[in-house]
Chain A
Amino acid sequence: MAFRIAAQWLHSCAGCEMAILDTGSRLLSLLDGIELVHMPLLVDNKYHAPDRPPEEADIPPADLGLVSGGVANREQLELLQAMRRRCSFLVGLGTCASHGGIPAMINSWPLAEGLAATYENIESGTPPAAGSIPAPLDRVYAVDEKVNIDLLLPGCPPDPEQIHQVLTTLAAGTRPPARTGSVCDRCPTRRHSMADRPQVRRFVEAAAFDPDRPVAAMPCLLEQGLLCMGPVTAGGCEHHGAPACIGARAPCRGCYGPVAGQGNQMVAMMNILASHGLDFRSVVDRRAMLRFAGAHGLLRPVKPK
């Protein structure tokens, strides 16, 4: 019997699913050897029959489940639990599933209040009411806060190469090797030790680099005084010989989440800034250092002043 994969998106943007499609021709070879039993983006499997109540998500049994996105409402929680019940091996795909991702930035507000603000500018009609839309949870959760997860594969999105490797390895019945190291560990830019100034500068002017020379000739962006989260961010994003954003001559913002599973990127980055002679108080909007990893209780509502 073919290896069966079920994929479900939750509180997410579809970027992880695009990364799966970006595996290209290998996607077709993969589809040839597996059966994709559930994936709302590509396959017409429904959560339930049309005349059944929508509470019972009927995910077909699968050898491998992929869930992308965090969990922010009751429907997503029920879908996640159904995926756990029906999939022998469950992978949390992407940074939202692993750490909450960008949508967990709303954890700085009480969730229902934060969402209600969306309707401030309407001039006609009535904002959504409890009961007719899925009830929000109290905050955005990473999937491993709600069910047991067999493997987390962070990245916003995870590199298509990694996704392909993980899928083929798991389909072959073995476990993919664990990833280690930070973005910095795989960055070729020139490093000395200290920043060339005491203040962190905003990225409102270009980094210093020679446009005619490769990225390896560029001085480290952190040492140029830019907030580059590479030291505190899990690696794995590199192609063409450099971390993806560094290749674009732009600083890392931390999209693979913390280097160690449950680390706090904001706290770790403040230490790194200090060790480079940079004043962390010069960072505008320090909470944004947790923009990709605000689940697990790291981002909380700000108490009114």
Chain B
Amino acid sequence: MAKITINPVTRIEGHARITIHLDEAGDVRETRLHLTTLRGFETFVRGRAAEELPRIVTRICGICPWLHHLASAKAVDRCFGARPPAAAQALRELCLHLAHISDKILHFFFLAGPDLLPDTDPRARNLAGLARQNPELAEEVVRMRVQAQKMLELIGGRAIHPVAAVAGGFSRPLAEDERRQLARQAGQLLDFALRAMAHAKTEIFPLHRGPAAEAGAIRTGFLGMVDGEGNLQLYEGGLRLMQEDGTVTDFPAHRYDSFLAEHAEPWSHGKMVYARCWQQGFSMDPDRPAGIYRVNTLARLNVADRIATPRAQEELEEFRSLSGRPAQSTLLFHHARLIELIHACERSVELLAGNDITDQCIRTRARPGAGRGIGVVEAPRGTLIHDYTTDEKGCITRANLIVGTTHNIAPMNMSIRKAASGLIRGGRYDREMLNRVEMAVRAYDP
């Protein structure tokens, strides 16, 4: 029996390989997405002073360190019973949205974008190739991404592996002149996001809706965060699970373990999460999945009734008129990503509009002690859960981390199976087909 190995999966934000097992006839018998590294954060944070965790768990992911930083700070606040002041909450929420902005630009243009270049030579299918074919676009996307990073640096001292969200609040206040500069820059990012959407709607998304949309298409449920009115939320809210038929279950984020459970496969380091509350067990059979839901941009837009910022809401309405709700096609994650980019820019502009965010009361004293704290945010890659238990000294005794990508590992396996089965027949395959299998993974932005 022949085996095809794609190692590594490239233009994704982690370490993974794909194996495709063929039967005697050369058709796809089985596929697997292997996550090949495990660092053991849940183990080695044990014994650490809990207030240090927001500065340790950032290293889970150098691409979205702010999201781990913020989920961790929220969990530590709850372990220690601390309530951050309003300005600290506003600064944290602003940083979350800016981190979403730089991440979405990175993924859409640097990682997934090159798949849409007309040149299919793999050596040109990357940022350098984009820069040669469309230097103005490349220059602008690089500049806009760095602008969001520089804004984070101005607010919190550093953009990568931040330190400013601390137990009880934020480490430094925002000055008025900084607020004005950031408000102007957030406006520029919003202009860019709207132009990027207009460009993508004519040049890119039509390619995602025809036959191409069928590669990797699967049907699953969805999970994401909403507020009490059903609006999309990224920083604070309840969780909503949606079944394939659109029925929803709302639950408080801190009760996640009553609704979700974790599964492991012997061939991957990545734990998989499934909907315990559906009482179906766990199966990745693409034709009869059980317990499987997806997270990340498309999931959030499927579960949310609406978006509270106007331009993103307009785009959501248009998206729903074309794709329905819930939309299932995997390549639609890209369109949903740009709608969220607009929302993140609009929300940043809102947060920077008033003077509340420059209030100098940014931190309350946190008192180390025994407790349990669960911090949940929506990371670019999906619902991110940090669950800590502390002893009487305020040191960690147990940590459970569910990282955004973890929820999508099972669905990615299913999408790979679908894509590979549709493309590889009779043992015949080529580089282009294998890249299409990788594209089914890339859409999830793992």
Contact = CB atoms under 8 A, between A and B. Distances in A.
Interface of A: 9, 11-19, 21-22, 24-25, 27-28, 31-32, 36, 40-48, 50-52, 54, 72-73, 75-76, 101-103, 105-106, 108-109, 111, 114-115, 117-119, 121-129, 132-134, 156-157, 202-207, 209, 211-212, 237, 239, 244-250, 253, 255, 284-285, 287-288, 291
Given A27-B142, A54-B17, A204-B366, A42 B127 contact: yes
A51 B427 CA distance: 11
B420 to A, nearest CB: 12
B1 interface: no
A127 B264 contact: yes
Which 10 pairs across A and B sit closest by C-beta, in order of nearness? A15-B62, A248-B157, A124-B263, A24-B146, A13-B62, A102-B59, A14-B62, A105-B44, A132-B267, A44-B122
A14 B16 CA distance: 13
Interface in B1-38: 2-8, 10-15, 17, 34, 36-38
Given A21-B110, A248-B171, A50 B5 contact: yes
A14 B44 contact: no
A265 to B, nearest CB: 15
A106 B59 CA distance: 13
Contacts of A247: 157
Given A46-B10, A156-B161, 5 more contacts: A22-B159, A109-B40, A119-B264, A133-B267, A203-B166
Nearest to B164: A248
Contacts of B225: none
Interface stretch (B47-55, B215-223, B307-315, B320-328): B47-55
Contacts of B43: 106, 109, 114-115, 117-118
Contact of A43 (B126, B135, B265): B126
Contacts of A24: 142-143, 146
Contacts of B367: 204
B89 to A, nearest CB: 16
Interface residues of B, number: 102
B182 to A, nearest CB: 15
Contacts of A106: 39-40, 43-44
Contacts of A15: 59, 62-63, 65, 160-161
Contact of B263 (A103, A125, A239): A125
A9 B157 contact: no
Nearest to A248: B157
26 contacts: A12-B62, A15-B161, A22-B146, A22-B160, A44-B122, A50-B5, A50-B434, A51-B3, A103-B40, A106-B43, A118-B40, A119-B264, A121-B262, A126-B265, A128-B38, A128-B264, A128-B265, A129-B266, A202-B51, A203-B52, A204-B80, A205-B363, A206-B362, A249-B172, A250-B157, A287-B47
Nearest to B358: A211
Interface stretch (B227-235, B244-252, B268-276): B268-276
B63 A51 contact: no
B354 interface: no
Contact of A205 (B36, B159, B265, B365): B365
Nearest to B15: A9
B153 interface: yes
A131 B431 CA distance: 27
A31 to B, nearest CB: 5
B160 A48 contact: no
B266 A127 contact: yes
Contacts of A123: 261-263, 276
